[in-house]
Amino acid sequence: MSFKNKTVIITGAGLGIGFEIAKQLSQNGAFIILNDMDEKIGKKAASQLENCVFVHGDAGDLTVIKKLIDSATSNYGKLDYAIANAGITTFGPFLDYSKENLDQLLHVNIQGTFFLAQQAAKVFIEQNSGGRIVMMSSTTGLKPHDELEAYGMTKAAIAFLAKSLGTQLAPNGITVNCITPGATRTERTTSVKGYEEGWSEIIPTRRVASVEDIAATALFLLSEKAKHITGQNIIVDGGWSNLGPVPKAI
């Protein structure tokens, strides 16, 4: 798929799924506005891509989101796609979960996704160009996981937001969809002992997802091939959510 001269904002793209999406889009001709909270990681990621501008900052902060929008339009003259990939995970038992942790989750996962979609949609409507918005959920928003009640709540909300906005923004030529990854091999998960082995035993395809699996789904949703798909949640989990067990080793 060609994305030549398309401009895309990707939040939380210094590593993992976000970086892989950025890399594949860059390889297919897109202009990238790459965001990450970690300045060192973000700069390194951007240096590996063609036609990439790095914008450091908290993806949940509306000021940073507006800076991302301004960077796209000032550097490349327009915005075509926005991918709300940034998210954080915090573990903790429900009865002891702190307000500070919940505030942080809501700030990045909910506020960051909501306002990136809002600000991107305003640009698309002003440009009269249509556009694509992709959000990132998780299978923890489909099935309960112990000590991830708060995180799962935010991810379920993101899937609903995509469904709602997909309907609302469709008359403007804007598609809004959500990707829900299951267990995925990333820099973070590979550091967890037994993660890949435990999940692979209970996923029907007998493997965890790769970042390439998730990126391929994102590129499809951004492409012209998906122009009639909106308000949908695409689950990429090797069939795990049809069964739902959590590995005992994790």
Q: What is the pLDDT of residues 162-190, one digit of tens each?
A: 999 999 999 999 999 999 999 999 998 98
Range of the domain at 182: 7-236
In a domain, 190, yes or no: yes
pTM of the model: 0.96
Asked whether residue 8 carries a pLDDT value surpassing 80, the answer given is yes
Q: Which residues contact 190 (CB under 8 A, 6 or more apart)?
A: 196
In a domain, 249, yes or no: no
Q: What is the pLDDT of residues 25-82, one digit of tens each?
A: 999 999 999 999 999 999 999 999 999 999 999 999 999 999 999 999 999 999 999 9
Q: What is the pLDDT of residues 87-136, one digit of tens each?
A: 999 999 999 999 999 999 999 999 999 999 999 999 999 999 999 999 99
Q: Residues in the chain, how many?
A: 250
Average pLDDT, the chain: 96
Q: What is d(CA 64, CA 235) in angstroms, rounded to the nearest whole number?
A: 29
Q: What is d(CA 16, CA 86) in angstroms, rounded to the nearest whole number?
A: 11
Q: Which residues pair with 82 in a beta bridge?
A: 9, 133
pLDDT at residue 248 in the model: 67
Number of domains in the chain: 1
In a domain, 225, yes or no: yes
Asked whether residue 249 carries a pLDDT value surpassing 80, the answer given is no
